[in-house]
Amino acid sequence: MYLQHLRTLLWLRWRLTRNQWRRGGQVNAILSLLVSILGLGLAVAGGVGGLLIGALALAKATPQATMFAWDGIVAVFLFVWLLGLVTEIQRSEVIDASRLMHLPVLLREVFFLNYAASHICLSLAIWVPTTLGLAFGLAVGRGAHQLWLVPLLLAFFFMVTAWTYCLRGWLAALMVNQRRRRAVIMGVTMFVVVLAQLPNLLMNVWRDDTRRVGAAVAHDSGKNAQVVRVCTLANRFAPPLWLPQGAQALQAGRVWPSLIATAGMGLLGLLGLARAYQLTRRFYQGDDRRKTAPPPVATPATKVVRGRLLVERTLPLVPEPAAAVACANLRSMLRAPEVKMALVANVVVFVILAGGIFLKHGAAVPPAGRPFIALAAACLTMLGLMQLLFNQFGFDRDGFRALVLLPAQRWHILLGKNISLLAISLPVFVVLLSLLTVSAHLGPAELLQACLGFCSVQLALGVLGNWLSILTPYRIAAGSLKPTKAKASSQVLMVVASMFMPLLLLPLFVPPLLGFLCNEFTKVPGTPITLLGAVVLLGCSCLLYGCTLKPLGRLLQRREQRILLAVTSEVE
């Protein structure tokens, strides 16, 4: 690529970023600058900390302990990397090659520029200095031969980024067909979530099996030796684990295994990059060799009996405009892949964690703690739905224009949005409550209290969700969970609300606390007091929701033009 072309493309990227900051206002620019400075500070701190840890602690470790330490580092990095892959499944290209086809620029040059620019992210900015600091620290504390860790680390990061870019390119080409788009997004998300939770499930099963066999010292030592053998075998055959294998060899004073691992990961990275370039060339030049589908066979026309659609249904005791908004929004959420990704990435994780914990320790819960455990189903449900609750208009995107043009009162729109979210959260709550009932042996009183608490927290957090959705809307990119052009002030407010959300759930535990105090210090039975407190709390939540619904509707009417601009503006 000509140097002048490269400078022009980089200047264009900088200009677009500057325009985004300027349109966000001075507060957004200041917060973005502070976030950049914070990221730079974390990178420097990671490098210095890695240098000190490598020189003072890891240099004195045995080769086997060094291997396990690097195994942990690689595992944590890959987990963070997979989370980033789920957030933005499709490849994010800085320069759209289709807009440069008429310029005297080669496709491979734009490809390499996009590859380098798309991996300028916070995870690499932190992990690369940290691991390089560990390598230099080992060189200071162990010897100069530890500097061979530097090319080994660079080959590892090159291999991971190359195959990630290849995977994103393949998925981007595959999801051009909209019929397969949702299936691909959900499949990748489910795979990553289950893969991330697999160690937790295996550890629970492992511990249970160990307890059944017996807690003998000889058996534990044999189990540990078996774990060491399995990890050593995995380090030999799994390419991402060649880094710990090479670090172990360097710790033992052997250089050749590290050089072989470096060459192997480098060749795999080149292979992934070549495959990514081949897919990119086919995608942009139309060299698609996939087989075309055979022509459809003509069949005699048959009369199809169609039932009532979801959007045609009405809800009892709900105004007709609110029912229409609820049914339409529910259908939209059931079809949107990004909503399913949010549910999988948040709710399913809470279900797996809660199920594993309470199925393992639920029988040991005392009767006095069961009312508190029952309310955990309501709390975990709402914690998993924070992204949908606090940004109800961000998933609408261009569909928000239909709400603006809807000839209905704005509080009807908020009510419909809340009802559709209730239809999503209720099945999750039922699943969690069923798991807790089986594991902790909850009684009818605890189940009734949990249902009342769920209704209370749904109404109370519905008020907070409506307010935040009106004040801090931001667009969610289609097919991903990545915010598009979200102001830094909005992001900070959302983070603060998410951090203090558990404090908002504390009043939910006041009724069972009163019941516990009555059982311990008085002769009054605690169960009626708990249920009475839950009913009072539900009444207060209903009063709060009813008193704030119409004022929030008027606030929505005043800010709907700003919301429309925020949720319909695409990336420049």
pLDDT tier at 454 (50, 70, 90 boundaries)? very high
Least confident of 80-94, 154-168, 456-470: 80-94
Q: Which two tokens stand for residue 173?
A: 């080409």
Position 121 pLDDT exceeds 80: no
Least confident of 29-33, 143-147, 388-392: 29-33
State the DSSP string of 417-456.
HHHHHHHHHHHHHHHHHHHHHHHHT--HHHHHHHHHHHHH
In this predicted model, which residue has the larger pLDDT, 46 or 544? 544
Amino acid identity at 272: G
Q: Report, as an integer, the average pLDDT of 492-507.
A: 79
pLDDT attached to residue 202: 55
- What count of other Cβ atoms lies within 10 Å of the Cβ of residue 120? 9
Position 291 pLDDT exceeds 50: no
- What count of other Cβ atoms lies within 10 Å of the Cβ of residue 342? 23
Q: Report, as an integer, the average pLDDT of 227-233.
A: 74
In this predicted model, which residue has the larger pLDDT, 373 or 270? 270
Q: What percent of the chain has pLDDT over 70?
A: 71
In this predicted model, which residue has the larger pLDDT, 40 or 553? 553
Q: Which two tokens stand for residue 51?
A: 């240098």
Q: Which two tokens stand for residue 284?
A: 């942009």
pLDDT attached to residue 182: 59
pLDDT attached to residue 64: 86
Rg (CA), the chain: 28
pLDDT tier at 218 (50, 70, 90 boundaries)? very low
Q: Which two tokens stand for residue 474?
A: 């931001």
Least confident of 127-141, 150-164, 204-218: 204-218
> Scanning the structure block, which residue is given the tokens 């667009």?
475
Position 197 pLDDT exceeds 90: no
Judge contact between 111 and 97, C-beta under 8 A. yes
Position 155 pLDDT exceeds 80: yes
Q: Report, as an integer, the average pLDDT of 149-178.
A: 81
Q: Report, as an integer, the average pLDDT of 227-248.
A: 82
Longest Cα pair distance anywhere in the chain, in angstroms?
88
Judge contact between 419 and 315, C-beta under 8 A. yes
CA 467 – CA 374 distance, rounded (Å): 28
Residue 484 phi, psi (nearest 5): -110, 115
* Top mean-pLDDT range of 168-172, 227-231, 436-440, 446-450: 446-450
pLDDT attached to residue 500: 79
The C-alpha angle with vertex 288 and arms to 287 and 291, in degrees rounded to 5, equals 145
In this predicted model, which residue has the larger pLDDT, 80 or 421? 421
pLDDT for 60-109, tens place per residue? 888 888 888 898 888 888 878 877 766 665 545 556 666 666 667 777 77
The size of the chain, in residues, is 572
Position 561 pLDDT exceeds 70: yes
In this predicted model, which residue has the larger pLDDT, 156 or 83? 156
Given its phi and psi angles, is residue 21 left (phi above 0), alpha (psi -120 to 50 degrees) or beta?
A: alpha
Domain residue extents for the chain: 3-180+228-285, 336-401+428-568
SS3 119: coil
Alpha-helix residue ranges (DSSP H) falling in 175-216: 178-213
Q: Report, as an integer, the average pLDDT of 341-370.
A: 63
pLDDT attached to residue 195: 65
Q: Which two tokens stand for residue 366?
A: 């005392």
Exposure b/e, 543-572, CB count within 10 A at least 16 = b? eebeebbeebbebbeeebeebbebbeeeee
Q: What percent of the chain has pLDDT over 90?
A: 15
pLDDT attached to residue 205: 46
Amino acid identity at 549: L
Is the whole-model pTM more than 0.75?
Answer: no
Burial of 515 (0-12, 13-18, 19+ CB in 10 A): buried
CA 150 – CA 262 distance, rounded (Å): 10
pLDDT tier at 216 (50, 70, 90 boundaries)? very low
SS3 483: strand
Position 498 pLDDT exceeds 60: yes
Q: Which two tokens stand for residue 568?
A: 């319909």
Partners of residue 476 on adjacent β-strands: 483
pLDDT for 514-556, tens place per residue? 988 888 888 888 888 999 999 999 999 999 999 999 999 999 9
Q: Which two tokens stand for residue 61?
A: 């470790």
pLDDT tier at 263 (50, 70, 90 boundaries)? very high
